[in-house]
Amino acid sequence: MVLFGVGLGSIGLGVFATLLLGGRLRSVAVATLGSLGCVLTFLSALDVLRSGRATSFSTSQILPLMGVRFNLDPLGAFFVAMVSFLGVAVLVYDVGYAHQVGRGRVAPCLLLIFIASLIAVPSASSVATFMFLWECMALSSMLLIVVEQRHRLEARSAAQWYGVITQLGAASILFGLLLLAMKGGQTFGDIRSHASTLSPGLRSVAFLATLIGFSSKAGAVPFHVWLPRAHPEAASPVSALMSGVMVAMGVYGVLRVGGDLLAGGALWWWLVVLALGALSAFYGALHATTSTDLKRLLAYSTIDMLGLVLVGVGSAGALRATGQAGMAQLALTGALMLLLAHAAFKGGLFLGAGAIERATGTRDLDQLGGLIDRLPITATFFGLSALSIMAVPALSGFSSEWLLLQGMLHGFVDTNTATLIGLLTGVTVLALTGGLTAVAFVKVLGVGLLGQARSPGAASAHEVPRSMRWAMGLVALPSLAFGVVPGLIVPLVHRAVLVAQPSTGTGLRSGAGLALARLHGAIEPLALLGGFLGVVVLVWTIRAWHHQRAPRSVDAWRGGGEEPSARMQYTATSFGEPLQRVFADVLRPEIDVEVTHEVESRYYEQAISYESRVNDVFERHGYLPVLKYLTLYGRRVRRLQNGSVHRYLAFGFIALLVALVVLA
Amino acid sequence: MTPLHVSAWYALAASLLQVVLVVLGGPLLLGLMAKLRARAEGRVGAPIRQPLRDIRKLLGKERLRPKHSSAVLALAPYVVLGATTVAVIISPLVTTHPLLRDSADLFVVVYLLLTGSVAMALAGLDTGTAFGGMGSSRAMTVGALAEPALLVSVIALSIQAKTSNLPGIVASTLAHPALASTPTRFLALVALGIVVIAETGRLPVDNPSTHLELTMIHEAMTLEYAGSDLGLVTLGAAMRLGLLVALLVNLFFPWGIASTASIPLLGVAALVLALKASFFAVALSLIEVHSAKLRLFRVPELLAAGFVFSVLAVITGLATR
């Protein structure tokens, strides 16, 4: 705990440094103190994960009345490690990124507060401490969206949407936690020991209330509408943190309350979680295939991935409730591995998107192209993360999804009908989203990085500063490591699983690959990768020996037409159009085609304009009507207020009378 | 699974035999199907070994690269070959004890094939021509819609065999022959059959012998390959077909596969596999002769039917557990 405290202290010093220092010195101080702090908290989390022993700290000094309580157990440490790792990368990245913007002191200060609160949230062990830190996290991230671009309407609207949803979510969490804390006390230890004495109805209400709050943070449909707005508007280091690890806090909350504090609970709780996850995964993956704004696409992909994690968490809970502890453990290990892998590759993708935006001035895929020649290093790391999210074997996405699938697959063997239907939905969604994710990211790589530049910005792009490249390299490492030797990471993840899903045995044999202990199933990514590289090198060598001459450069096939130009390429819009058409019932695209005819004859067209938009169905048919009604109501209420003091006094008097009558 | 101890040499020999079989067998299957189609249409047709000759000729040609292409175009054929070969090595085609038998998971094979598709789709977009992008978009759309049917029928088979390990599934069918005639198997077979047609770009999903760019799927994607590189791409596609057909027949009708470690048995197994694959090819070309290419936006309906079959396979599998 000392190490953890010193780490947080170091980040705190960084916050002061942003306020005192200026210029180049400030950015150096932020990066050094911040990443030092992250490294220390990472080490302390790793220590907890390796030993499996929690460490705690509490004082009655800092927060008034309630005091502060920290307890870093393996479940929390897993999340702390995840945040700290990405935190280091983001801070390193920010050196080059901020240098180019030349920004003030507020943004780095908020960034450090954001990272510190992200690190501290999973270690909080009382309702007051948790909610305080949760609010720090929410507010600092909300301010980070607007701080650099308060004049942009989109940024302000994004911050508003995010702010409202996150505050409603926080209220819901607070309500749920207070219900639990009513009887015993507000520390997590008290809640844990008194949870069994509460009535089942009360426990269910508390779980559902916290679930609403936590799943809104995890971007679950229908609470997802803030993600596609907030992630594109925030600066890239911030969106990397928000999308990589802040959404994971939602999963942490569900596991902490449902798995740990309430010790499992009823079957239907977890089926609800599973259904939420399945809906989010499908909806997010579908939108990702049709989005053309790079960061918006990544935001939808986050909804998809977190949906899959929730499917895993839900199936684990359901399996546990039906007495299949072993399978539950496998599924949860898979879900947490996926969450960890997601933090790394989505962090990498957002950092890469930031680099692309910096280099080209746009994040519209329809304006990009040909970046692999101009930004080779960015393109390589970005490509690695994208391949990882597509679940290419021997990269992190595949290993974790495989584990998740095994848990669900073997859970089918003996369980009741409700769980069966849940698991069946889960695996079907996993299968559906796999293909859609591949389409979305082939589009990103193929249209964004390959081909020819579609705009002057993309044509004149230059490689980004060194610190940004280093940071992207750092976050690309886990994608490789978790993919090639997943077996080395699993024991650490498993310690976290044990807190939320207590059971004996690991369900997995030890080794570099993954192998189920009592069941038949294993993968050895290292051997597969070796075989693959062996074949490639062999074919390569034979051909190099056979063809001594270098390849000759020739014209591309133009189908007998004129010289191909960059405008003739497929764009992201056209790439995703077939799927948009296939799933038109879900996506409800709006397409406007306007044809201007020649004056002489209407058989000749002068110009055709084509516009297609895919709106968020939930936003359009769920949120906007409610907002419209609220605005209308607000206008009506405003009629009461005409600024006359007499009228206000009369209102006060009437209200007092009504209150007296009611009380009497 | 039988705790049979086999030497690494046997496994190596068997896996090498599998690679040779698929490298030669894939193109021969293509030739066989073309021949049958020609005969059905009243033509003589090219000899069955014609695709092999074509590939050999192409491989000997000069290497050509279109302008504005990056390393992705050059590397994609290697990725396809590498991923497909690894899948061939670990799959139980002639023996239930190939190399890396423990990692021979159905999901690994599925995702190795997906890796190949992704590599080709990226190569299609690499030169920045209209046809390449069109082919990639269509191929990925068809692939994405075939993926659920593929994975869910794989899951149906795995639930029945209680493992997703490929040799494990094959061995469990050998041990319990009754499994092969359950409704689950039939439904999954139909679903996987549709998937194989879609994934290998055969009629009615894609017409491999079309010459009009606007109707192409796979051919449009590989339009920029010429000379020796085209040879690699064609070989990769043929191997993919060979692997999928061989896997399909072995998953549903595994008899003839060598389940004990004896070298002569491997030869028998190779012959039986060739026979089984030829039967399947005959069936496939009968479908091709009697069907026209579907409109692109009718293909999702076919694939959705495959998906429904696969879900039914899972449900019947769970009901008769």
> Would you write out chain B's pLDDT as a tens digit for each of its 321 residues?
444 456 888 888 899 999 999 999 999 999 999 999 999 889 999 999 999 999 999 999 988 888 888 899 999 999 999 999 999 999 999 988 888 888 888 899 999 999 999 999 999 999 888 888 999 999 999 999 999 999 899 888 888 888 888 888 998 899 988 888 888 999 999 999 999 999 888 888 888 777 777 788 888 888 889 889 999 999 999 999 999 999 999 999 998 888 887 888 888 999 999 999 999 999 988 888 888 888 888 899 999 999 999 999 988 888 876
A570–B125 C-beta distance less than 8 A:
yes
Enclosing domain of residue B284: 8-319
Instruction: Answer yes or no: is B1 within a domain.
Output: no
- Nearest by CB: B129 against A432, A553, A557: A557
* A451 interfacial to chain B (CB closer than 8 Å): yes
Q: Which residues of A touch B314 (CB under 8 A)?
A: 424
Instruction: Answer yes or no: is B3 within a domain.
Output: no
Report the gap between the CA of A566 and the closest CA in chain B (Å).
7
**Nearest by Cα to A107 from A85, A88, A91, A122:** A91
Q: Which residues of A touch B69 (CB under 8 A)?
A: 556
Give the C-alpha separation, A533 to A526, whole Å: 11
Per-residue DSSP letter, A435 = H
| pLDDT for A276 beyond 60 | yes
Pair of tokens at residue A206: 């508390």
B101-104: long-range contacts (C-beta < 8 A, 24 or more apart)?
A: B101/B11, B101/B165, B101/B167, B102/A515, B102/A522, B102/A524, B102/B165, B103/A513, B103/A522, B103/A523, B103/A524, B103/A525, B103/A527, B103/A528, B104/B165, B104/B166, B104/B167
pLDDT reported for residue B3: 44
Q: Which residues of A touch B128 (CB under 8 A)?
A: 369-370, 450-452, 556, 564, 566, 569
* A487 interfacial to chain B (CB closer than 8 Å): no
pLDDT band for position A170 (cuts 50, 70, 90):
very high
pLDDT reported for residue A637: 87
Q: Is the dihedral of CA A332, A337, A341, A344 positive or negative?
A: positive
- Nearest by CB: A535 against B81, B150, B228: B81
Query: Nearest residue of B to residue A534 by CA position?
Result: B82
Pair of tokens at residue A465: 């500063």
Give the C-alpha separation, A343 to A115, whole Å: 14
How far, in Å, are B25, B110, B130 from residue A165 at the CA level? 59, 40, 43
Biggest distance spanned by C-alpha atoms of chain A: 102
- Nearest by CB: A528 against B59, B103, B140: B103
Q: Which residues of A touch B86 (CB under 8 A)?
A: 528, 531-532, 535
| pLDDT for A63 beyond 80 | no
Report the gap between the CA of A586 and the closest CA in chain B (Å).
15
Lowest mean pLDDT among A148-152, A226-230, A300-304: A148-152
Q: Indicate the helix (H) or strand (E) that contains B139.
A: helix B130-161
* A527 interfacial to chain B (CB closer than 8 Å): yes
Q: How many CA atoms lie within 13 A of A175 on its CB side?
A: 18
Per-residue DSSP letter, A103 = -
pLDDT reported for residue B2: 42
Residue owning tokens 């490689």: A463
- Contact at 8 Å (CB) between A463 and A359? yes
Give the C-alpha separation, A518 to A509, whole Å: 9
How far, in Å, are A96, B146, B150, B219 from residue B208 at the CA level? 50, 18, 22, 7
Give the C-alpha separation, A383 to B264, whole Å: 46
| pLDDT for A147 beyond 60 | yes
pLDDT reported for residue A304: 95
pLDDT reported for residue A194: 87
Instruction: Answer yes or no: is B299 within a domain.
Output: yes
In the predicted model, what is the mean pLDDT of residues A180-208? 89
* A561 interfacial to chain B (CB closer than 8 Å): no
- Contact at 8 Å (CB) between A368 and A360? yes
Query: Nearest residue of B to residue A406 by CA position?
Result: B164
pLDDT reported for residue A103: 66
Query: Nearest residue of B to residue A539 by CA position?
Result: B78
Dump pLDDT digits (tens) for A400-440: 999 998 888 888 776 788 888 899 899 889 988 999 999 99
Residue owning tokens 């690494």: B8
For residue B53, give every residue at least 6 positions away whose Cβ sits within 8 Å of its Cβ, in sequence order, or none.
none
User: Total structural domains in chain B?
Assistant: 1
| pLDDT for A299 beyond 70 | yes
Average predicted confidence (pLDDT) for chain A = 89
On whether the pTM is more than 0.90, the answer is yes
**How many A/B residue pairs have CB atoms within 8 Å?**
250
pLDDT reported for residue A549: 83
Q: How many CA atoms lie within 13 A of A221 on its CB side?
A: 29
Burial class (CB in 10 A: 0-12, 13-18, 19+), B293: middle
Give the C-alpha separation, A393 to A410, whole Å: 21
pLDDT reported for residue A102: 56
* A526 interfacial to chain B (CB closer than 8 Å): no
Give the C-alpha separation, A387 to B177, whole Å: 40
Give the C-alpha separation, A116 to A18, whole Å: 14
In the predicted model, what is the mean pLDDT of residues A476-480? 91
Instruction: Answer yes or no: is B2 within a domain.
Output: no
For residue A379, give every residue at least 6 positions away whose Cβ sits within 8 Å of its Cβ, in sequence order, or none.
A371, A372, A449
Give the C-alpha separation, B231 to B60, whole Å: 8
A535–B85 C-beta distance less than 8 A:
yes
* Ramachandran area for residue A189 (φ above 0: left; ψ -120 to 50: alpha; else beta): alpha
Q: Which of A374, A375, A421, A532 to mutate to test the interface with B (most CBs of B within 10 A)?
A: A532
Dump pLDDT digits (tens) for A609-640: 888 888 888 888 889 999 999 999 999 988 87
Q: Is the dihedral of CA A558, A560, A563, A565 positive or negative?
A: negative
pLDDT reported for residue A317: 92
Give the C-alpha separation, A239 to A97, whole Å: 13
Give the C-alpha separation, A255 to A130, whole Å: 14
Higher pLDDT, A351 or A196: A351
Per-residue DSSP letter, A591 = E
Give the C-alpha separation, A26 to A99, whole Å: 11
Pair of tokens at residue A462: 């230059």
A558–B129 C-beta distance less than 8 A:
yes
| pLDDT for A647 beyond 60 | yes
pLDDT reported for residue A534: 95
